[in-house]
Structure 1
């Protein structure tokens, strides 16, 4: 049975229970839905070069076209706080499940529209403006999806499998990146560059819209979380706008989650999303090889998230953070200093850094525990999305500009943020257990 604790606003789940069939169903459906929705959000970046050619003037300098293309990508991140705060507000008021389903519907529609948009050659400047509008809608949707998914699963799974549950869900979400990479590889192998620019680029976006509608249907089979059900029964829900409570009473937790989100954004945006384009533009690595190496790295990231979740349950959050972030620092520099290398060294180096990017799974584990149940969704959503809007959205622009002076810009950026992650791991709040105490090995 789940019990609420006045000290921290509620436990994440019953501490003595083990995973049962219902838990596996919840994890499976949540992770699959996260995979399909995050695919919708990130598929854009795998076709950034193609979209730049199609949605901006042909006589624009290549670096400026790429910068503006990633600027539109960044707009999706800048819209995240708005969607996140609104969806989380109603998630704390009306229930996790309703908003968990709504967010994915709001993602599917603009993804489908992008696949049907006319290009610059057809409608001129209206083309990039429409693309921008769809990215803003996608950003609003993902702003509610990510924190909602983490809270939903964290409040379902037993406490002693908390890390594994959240890590598995995070692996499912990162699986959306892997799915996007595999689709991009398949298209680039099956179609010629001319065909991709002509029509094939539309296929992944149309598929994404279909994936999103499938996810909406699947989430009908999920049940509301036990924590929210108990809060509703005891009328322990938020009594004012949850974001007001967060700003007044939980500023330290918000700063903590914001800093960790900055580290997460560096690892995901730079290593996983930006690097395939970086490999092509800076080191002139063929597009297919760059995407194949990225797919291997993303697979290792997915496995790394599960491994981190298992390790947190066994050894505690603090030890995992103090080992994982230095590992990300070291492997990042090894990878970027070794480029372009050989095809084998490229794949192996990318795979190793991808595995250590899995340390980002500690971010939601820390974030969910940092806020009491009554405002948990809003607290995590507000701090996570505000940070990602600033740092995740601006990172591609910062790196693209920095690369004009230093080809090692990605390594310096990721390495610096890995140091920040290590420092944050030393703070007591970052390894608080489910009952407000420091966590440690599961008993």
Structure 2
């Protein structure tokens, strides 16, 4: 791949670069730099999500002083899920903005909103200081971040795919998931370092706030980097848009009027991948700490292992989907995940009875296997979604479909898993949640068209 090549509309081959009828882009951006800039916002959000999830027990104690540690945890992870309620709203508002004003404008706005959310959490006084206003501030921050990511995911994933060709879109789209894993790794490593370096009192007093301050500082840097991206929505930056290329004035109405079936199948397919992603990469560390009583440092290392495995596997999953098809990779990997998840939870729950070192090693091995399946099921899923819509409504369509699927079954996965443990009395309940979501997500797959290797515009 020529890393100095300019982004071309999907379906445009390299031999067409010299076509005099083509409109040359204003700048030449290396694809490596472009991928980093595009995925930065999504990665930043997952950095914050990771930190929030890892320190959910501390946040629950400081901001939700109810009786019982499990009740505190439920309120904390429930607040984690509150941000997902705003994702569909952000997907509609900011996705439509990306389809009218351009991908770059929308992504800059989402980064400013994410920065604001991080700042609120970083400096919010605790319940002991200001009472009920404290948890309300945390909820407000999560709502702002959820709104922002609802628009970020559609604009950035659409831009990634529009930088690729018909033969490389899966590989390009996989970097969206790589960014999630990398920032999960960064967040977990920071959590491990803070847990090891600080006393419990210092960690609860101010240490847990440090990652949110770092996330807040990353926003303006990302906005500066994104200024150098090439816009892929025709005519937005240079004003040369033709009547045929003009952005749709009402992308949301067009989307629901002409693509309602695609929305339904896309949402159902997303359920399985997002539930697996949020349980394996985010919830299992909290599960290990609160349910299995693992040391915090060991549980955070487990999350780091799962994240780094997804980082390594995701580009391979995207490339494989380019060669053999999105549906085939998604189907096989999701079935394997469904089969493996219950035995995996049985193994993890049996480990506290063995020596600590052996139990930690076994947990890491189990999570590594699950993370491989998560990568190979999530990557083709996230690539397929924007491919199902035409360019003029792609960001809106991707945002709405992804956010509807993620909002309930991903954002509240931790809450549902904890609640199921409480009502059933079984520590294996989260496995049944993943199995159910995975099975439902396979139902629409036979009715979806294969998008790999085909022009999307």
1:278 corresponds to: 287
Indicate the SS of the match to 1:201: helix
1:142 corresponds to: 149
Indicate the SS of the match to 1:221: coil
1:12 corresponds to: 10
- For structure 1, list consecutive stretches of 5 or more residues without a partner in the other structure: 1-9, 438-443
- State whether structure 2 residue 169 is matched by structure 1 residue 162: yes
CA distance in 2, matches of 1:325, 1:207: 35
- State whether structure 2 residue 358 is matched by structure 1 residue 350: no
| Superposed displacement of residue 332, structure 1 | 1.9
2:438 corresponds to: 418
Q: Compared with structure 1, are the counterparts of its residues 231 and 136 closer, same or farther at alpha carbon in structure 2 (3 Å cutoff)?
A: farther
1:98 pairs with one of 105, 109, 116: 105
Contact in 2 for aligned 1:110/1:134 (Cα 8 Å): yes
- State whether structure 2 residue 408 is matched by structure 1 residue 390: yes
1:54 corresponds to: 62
Q: Which moved more, 1:314-323 or 1:233-242?
A: 233-242
CA distance in 2, matches of 1:18, 1:43: 45
Contact in 2 for aligned 1:67/1:400 (Cα 8 Å): yes
Contact in 2 for aligned 1:332/1:414 (Cα 8 Å): yes
Q: Compared with structure 1, are the counterparts of its residues 335 and 227 closer, same or farther at alpha carbon in structure 2 (3 Å cutoff)?
A: farther
1:82 corresponds to: 89
- For structure 2, list consecutive stretches of 5 or more residues without a partner in the other structure: 1-7, 18-27, 352-358
Aligned residues: 427
Q: Which moved more, 1:348-357 or 1:406-415?
A: 406-415
1:378 pairs with one of 396, 416, 421: 396
Q: Please, what TM-score do these two structures have when normalized by structure 2?
A: 0.88
| Superposed displacement of residue 62, structure 1 | 1.6
| Superposed displacement of residue 363, structure 1 | 1.8
2:4 corresponds to: none
| Superposed displacement of residue 396, structure 1 | 2.2
| Superposed displacement of residue 11, structure 1 | 6.1
1:365 corresponds to: 383
Runs (4+) off by over 6 Å = 17-21
1:172 corresponds to: 179
Task: Give CA-to-partner distance per residue, 1:88-142, whole Å, 9 cap, x none.
Answer: 1111111111101211111012202211111011111110011111111111111
Q: Compared with structure 1, are the counterparts of its residues 174 and 296 closer, same or farther at alpha carbon in structure 2 (3 Å cutoff)?
A: same
| Superposed displacement of residue 238, structure 1 | 4.0
Task: Give CA-to-partner distance per residue, 1:14-56, whole Å, 9 cap, x none.
Answer: 2456999722221132234432332134321111000001112
Q: Compared with structure 1, are the counterparts of its residues 17 and 170 closer, same or farther at alpha carbon in structure 2 (3 Å cutoff)?
A: farther
Contact in 2 for aligned 1:304/1:357 (Cα 8 Å): no
Indicate the SS of the match to 1:429: coil
CA distance in 2, matches of 1:65, 1:428: 42
1:332 pairs with one of 341, 345, 353: 341
| Superposed displacement of residue 173, structure 1 | 2.6
2:449 corresponds to: 429
Q: Compared with structure 1, are the counterparts of its residues 156 and 190 closer, same or farther at alpha carbon in structure 2 (3 Å cutoff)?
A: same
CA distance in 2, matches of 1:11, 1:371: 14
- State whether structure 2 residue 268 is matched by structure 1 residue 259: yes
- State whether structure 2 residue 181 is matched by structure 1 residue 183: no
Indicate the SS of the match to 2:231: coil
| Superposed displacement of residue 407, structure 1 | 1.3
RMSD: 2.3
1:245 pairs with one of 254, 258, 267: 254
2:429 pairs with one of 401, 409, 425: 409
CA distance in 1, matches of 2:258, 2:240: 19
Q: Which moved more, 1:188-197 or 1:413-422?
A: 413-422
Q: Please, what TM-score do these two structures have when normalized by structure 1?
A: 0.90
